[in-house]
């Protein structure tokens, strides 16, 4: 459904030329939940902006359902890291969530229905009339998620959406994302610098190298689909996957500047689990 091919982005300044990403190639199937991890400054936000059609790549292309993305595609929603700047402070929570639905020109009754469902799904059914500045950071981020969900996107991009919330809220929001994904079957590309979060959330983890950025590895997360904070994180398989991702990122830092060998598709061999057929890479 989503194809990123040979994506390169160079920011050209007057004095400075920054190659934010060098050569990124990967694709997402419809309905997939993939996480993208990489060190800070490796170009994750740049990549998302290119995928969202907010930034033109220097070379390479992004295809959505086979069509090149040249501007914000209909059916795509983005949740940014800075929720504080992504909600309009003069609009109530209800109006913030409703805004994109007005732009979609949905009839009033349908808008009302979608806003109610979305706010209920993020646990904010009582907050319609509140203003963003009256809410905690975690609640504001839930409003931003509700706005994205109400829009009924086919593709949801999330850029380190939980980086600024406390650990407990973050755990709740992670579970919320998996719930919503199960319910809506939307395709999600979730960017994070947090290795545990990537392994906990994803069906697949794409590991980016540090600059010059390439896709270092694509790892299948063979944890059971039913995940919960206590059991999944205590699962030995979770530990071996996170260790693997950690080692890959460390290796990527050591190899920074080395020529790209192309991304590898990997499965981590490890503990034998009955009923799981695993082929070592
Ligand atoms: P990440 O999200 O992984 O932290 P970014 O995509 O924000 O990384 O940035 C990647 C690189 O591109 C960094 O070196 C950053 O300084 C640079 N960069 C990002 N945006 C711009 C811009 N608008 N102009 C120039 N350089 C930029
Ligand atoms: Mg970023």
Q: What is the mean pLDDT of residues 41-67?
A: 94
For the stretch 146-174, pLDDT in tens is: 999 999 999 999 999 888 788 888 898 89
For the stretch 103-141, pLDDT in tens is: 999 999 999 999 999 999 888 999 999 999 999 888 898
Q: What is the mean pLDDT of residues 237-264?
A: 78
Are the C-beta atoms of 47 and 24 separated by less than 8 Å? Answer: yes
Indicate the pLDDT class of residue 279, thresholds 50, 70 and 90. Answer: very low
Q: Which ligand is nearest to the CA of 44?
A: 1
For the stretch 225-238, pLDDT in tens is: 999 999 999 999 99
Residue ranges of the chain assigned to CATH 3.40.50.300: 1-75+155-164+181-230+242-269
Q: Which pLDDT score is estimated for 66?
A: 92
User: Crossing angle for the helix pair 93-103 and 108-121, nearest 10 degrees?
Assistant: 130
3-state secondary structure of 17: strand
Q: What is the 44 CA–ligand 1 centroid distance (Å)?
A: 8
Which atom of ligand 1 is closest in space to residue 48's alpha carbon? 6
pLDDT above 50 for 275: no
Q: What's the CA gap between 120 and 194, in Å, rounded?
A: 28
Indicate the pLDDT class of residue 1, thresholds 50, 70 and 90. Answer: very high
Indicate the pLDDT class of residue 257, thresholds 50, 70 and 90. Answer: low
Q: Which residues surround ligand 2, an ion (CB under 5 A)?
A: 44-45
Question: Reduced to 3 DSSP states, what percent helix, strand and coil does the chain have, rounded to the nearest 5?
Answer: 35, 25, 40
Indicate the pLDDT class of residue 177, thresholds 50, 70 and 90. Answer: very high
Q: What is the mean pLDDT of residues 62-74?
A: 93
Q: What is the mean pLDDT of residues 235-245?
A: 96
Q: Which pLDDT score is estimated for 204?
A: 97
Q: What's the CA gap between 93 and 148, in Å, rounded?
A: 13
Q: What is the mean pLDDT of residues 215-229?
A: 94
pLDDT above 80 for 269: no
Q: Which pLDDT score is estimated for 271?
A: 57
Q: Which ligand is nearest to the CA of 22?
A: 1
Q: Using alpha carbons only, how large is the chain's radius of gyration in Å?
A: 19
Indicate the pLDDT class of residue 184, thresholds 50, 70 and 90. Answer: confident
Q: Give residues (CB < 6 A) around ligand 1.
A: 11, 13, 18, 20, 38, 40-46
- Nearest residue CA, atom 14 of ligand 1? 41
Q: Which pLDDT score is estimated for 256?
A: 61
Q: Is the model more confident about 253 or about 173?
A: 173
Q: Which pLDDT score is estimated for 276?
A: 42
- Nearest residue CA, atom 10 of ligand 1? 43
In DSSP terms, which residues pair with 10 in a beta bridge?
19
3-state secondary structure of 50: helix
For the stretch 189-209, pLDDT in tens is: 999 989 999 999 999 999 998
> Which superfamily is assigned to 1-75+155-164+181-230+242-269 in CATH?
P-loop containing nucleotide triphosphate hydrolases (3.40.50.300)
């Amino acid at each position: 459904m989503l194809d990123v091919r040979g994506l390169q982005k160079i920011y050209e300044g007057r004095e400075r030329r920054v190659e934010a990403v060098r050569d990124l190639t990967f694709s997402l199937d419809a309905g997939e939940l993939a996480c993208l991890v990489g060190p800070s400054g490796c170009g994750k936000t740049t990549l998302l902006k290119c995928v969202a059609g907010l930034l033109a790549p220097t070379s390479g292309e992004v295809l959505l359902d086979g069509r090149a993305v040249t501007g914000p595609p209909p059916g795509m929603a983005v949740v940014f890291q800075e929720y504080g700047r992504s909600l309009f402070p003069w609009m109530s929570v209800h109006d913030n969530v409703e805004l994109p639905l007005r732009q979609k020109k949905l009839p009033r009754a349908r808008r009302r229905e979608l806003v109610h469902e979305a706010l209920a799904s993020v646990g904010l059914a009582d907050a319609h009339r509140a203003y963003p500045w009256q809410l905690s950071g975690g609640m504001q981020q839930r409003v931003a998620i509700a706005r994205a969900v109400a829009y009924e996107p086919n593709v949801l991009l999330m850029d380190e959406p939980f980086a600024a919330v406390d650990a407990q809220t973050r755990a709740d929001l992670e579970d919320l994302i998996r719930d919503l994904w199960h319910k809506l079957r939307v395709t999600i590309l979730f960017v994070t610098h947090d290795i545990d979060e990537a392994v906990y959330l994803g069906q697949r983890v794409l590991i980016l190298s540090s600059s010059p950025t390439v896709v270092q590895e694509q790892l299948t997360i063979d944890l059971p689909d039913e995940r919960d904070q206590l059991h999944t994180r205590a699962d030995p398989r979770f530990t071996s996957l996170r260790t693997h991702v950690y080692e890959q990122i460390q290796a990527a830092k050591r190899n920074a500047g080395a020529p790209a060998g192309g991304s590898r598709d990997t499965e981590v061999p490890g503990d034998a689990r009955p009923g799981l057929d695993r082929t070592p890479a």
